[in-house]
Amino acid sequence: MLMKKTALFEQHSDLGAKIVDFAGYQMPLSYEGVSVEHHQVRNDCGVFDVSHMGEFFVSGDQATALISKISSNDVTKLSPGQAQYSCMPNETGGIIDDLIIYKLAEDDYMLVVNASNIEKDLAHIQKYNATIGASLTNESDSYALLAIQGPKTIELMQPLSSVDLAQIPFYQFTKGDFGGIAEVIISATGYTGSGGFEIYCKNDEVAQIWSKVLEQGAKPIGLAARDTLRLEMGYCLYGNDIDDTTSPLEAGLGWITKFNCDFVNAANLKAQKENGVSKKLIGFEMIEKGIPRKDYTIVNQDGEDIGHVTSGTMSPSVSKGIGLAYVQTACATIGTKIYIQIRNKTVAAEVVKPPFYKSV
């Protein structure tokens, strides 16, 4: 399979990035190392090239009807300039993808989806749009996306825009100038928990913006630190913590599952909510020394298999092993002691409520 490249591939190579294949793209894994880059975002400002993400545009009189059908959240609550986290349920109780919905104007939306799911997502939405009839276009190959994240983002980036960045509330966005480009989407969203913005622009504009962002003091950050940052916040990663076999209720995403909407499989998920789930996604911290990894088995004090790790790492911020896992509901209570099978050892951990990292 031929790997795609983002519009910034040459810039990553020139900076000495370690390049890996990810979601069909050649992407920067790291530049200076995951720990250095992680702390840069937590304490200062870093910039990620996440242009591999997908962008769909939905418009017309039936746009809201289509999104209401394929999305678990209530899109009718959005006003222009607001964004919403949601997921696309499948017909069998699992999740097609998680996504962010941007309301650009009345009857005009942008859906941002995961790179590895672009084709699958598009086919799913087209299936339901066949009878609904909204205008639906896939512009993923035309758009670039930069995530500028960290507590010093506003201070460092304000000279690049006439927009008052401090006045953009969390999960809201505006269109305006940035980095010498007349109009981009500036969104107060991100995947790190340390504040910042995401900039949507065209491929032929992103190199100029990237250069100016680095000139202002942001450091380039790779996918490895993106993963440790999101995991410290307890944010789900599609393919690890949620997938086609996990329901939003099992994954703790009941808050984006609104049953006043007739979305795909809503009746069955509502019944699941009423009857309870047999497994839950939990956060855990290691009590004993050890680094949890995806697919490690979890057992109880009697050695019985009760679940498995979906994401795990050594947290750079709290200096202990942390992770997300699915366990039997009876074992999901905060404070429960569980045991991770790491290689040939059974290592103690405790169920905790994310986020693992809390900013002071």
In angstroms, the Cα distances linking 262 to 74, 111, 131, 273 are: 10, 19, 15, 15
**Cβ atoms of residues 112 and 54 within 8 Å:** yes
Q: What is the pLDDT along the chain (360 residues), one digit of tens a residue?
A: 688 999 999 999 999 999 999 999 999 999 999 999 999 999 999 999 999 999 999 999 999 999 999 999 999 999 999 999 999 999 999 999 999 999 999 999 999 999 999 999 999 999 999 999 999 999 999 999 999 999 999 999 999 999 999 999 999 999 999 999 999 999 999 999 999 999 999 999 999 999 999 999 999 999 999 999 999 999 999 999 999 999 999 999 999 999 998 999 999 999 999 999 999 999 999 999 999 999 999 999 999 999 999 999 999 999 999 999 999 999 999 999 999 999 989 999 999 999 999 986
Residue ranges of domains in the chain, CATH in brackets? 4-50+142-232 (3.30.1360.120), 54-138 (3.30.70.1400), 278-352 (2.40.30.110)
Q: Using CA of residue 118, residue 120, residue 121, residue 124, what is the dihedral sign?
A: positive
Strands 337-342 and 297-299: antiparallel
**Cβ atoms of residues 136 and 125 within 8 Å:** yes
CA angle 219, 99, 187 (to 5 degrees): 45
Beta bridge partners of 89: 95
Q: What's the pLDDT score for residue 232? A: 98
Identity of the residue numbered 193 = G
**Cβ atoms of residues 249 and 243 within 8 Å:** no
Q: What is the CA radius of gyration of the chain?
A: 21
**Cβ atoms of residues 340 and 347 within 8 Å:** yes
**Cβ atoms of residues 213 and 221 within 8 Å:** no
Task: Give the whole-angstrom CA distance, residue 323 versus residue 234.
Answer: 8
Task: Give the whole-angstrom CA distance, residue 304 versus residue 145.
Answer: 45
Global confidence as pTM: 0.97
Say how many Å lie between the first and final Cα of the chain, rounded: 45
Asked if the peptide bond before residue 354 counts as cis, ω within 30 degrees of 0, the response is: no
**Cβ atoms of residues 19 and 27 within 8 Å:** yes
**What is the helix (H) or strand (E) element at residue 100, kind and residue range?**
strand 95-105
What values do phi and psi take at 203, rounded to 5? Answer: -55, -35
Q: Which residues contact 243 (CB under 8 A, 6 or more apart)?
A: 94, 95
Task: Give the whole-angstrom CA distance, residue 14 versus residue 31.
Answer: 11
